[in-house]
Amino acid sequence: YFISTNSLTSSGTLNEYTFDDWMRTNGMRYGSRRKLGMCSSAVLGAFVQMAKDRITVTPVNLGVGDMRIGIQVREYMSPTGGSLLLMEDRSLTETNQGTMFIVDPEVVRLRHFSNNGKNGMPHIKEHTQPTDSDAESSAIICDLGLEVGPEKHHGKVTGVTAVSAGRSVS
């Protein structure tokens, strides 16, 4: 909700060159060189289709017969050399299909709220059972929020239903 300047709106098909240009001028302009792209399944699927011939899974033999492991990391390299790690955010899949939030994890942190002798850090509060109860209970209490850092370090892409390699044909 707080991202208003670093925003790219697509009207369905997002072209690779358009996305690269936006990444160069906005998405990777400020902050760290390694960011996280939290995508709805439609956006993630569109990027996988665009790069299908460039995605590789390399099986590694673990030395015991046929036991192997394969690792696939969806990482989009921006034109400036930074990387965007793509992962599905199921809440976006349920509520905002076609949306991706680009987050700079270096400026995001947990923030506790403490004031007037109240401690917002996680702690145990003992004897939280009702006064007429024979049972004994305790509760973990905290007052935490998420500090997202400067808005210019993050980005938002909306309206994506498909991604095409290359540039649009006019």
Q: What is the DSSP string of 122-167?
A: -EEE---S-TT-SS---EEE--EEEE---GGG-EEEEEEEEEESS-
In angstroms, rounded to a whole number, what is the distance separating the alpha carbons of residues 84 and 79?
11
Q: What residues form DSSP beta bridges with 48?
A: none
User: Is this structure's pTM higher than 0.85?
Assistant: no
Please list the pLDDT of the chain residue by residue as tens digits (170 residues). Answer: 678 788 999 888 888 888 899 999 999 999 999 999 999 999 988 888 887 777 666 666 666 666 666 656 688 888 888 899 888 899 999 999 999 999 999 999 888 888 887 788 888 989 889 888 889 999 998 888 888 889 899 999 999 888 777 666 55
Phi, psi values for residue 3, rounded to 5°: -85, 115
- 29: amino acid identity, one letter: R
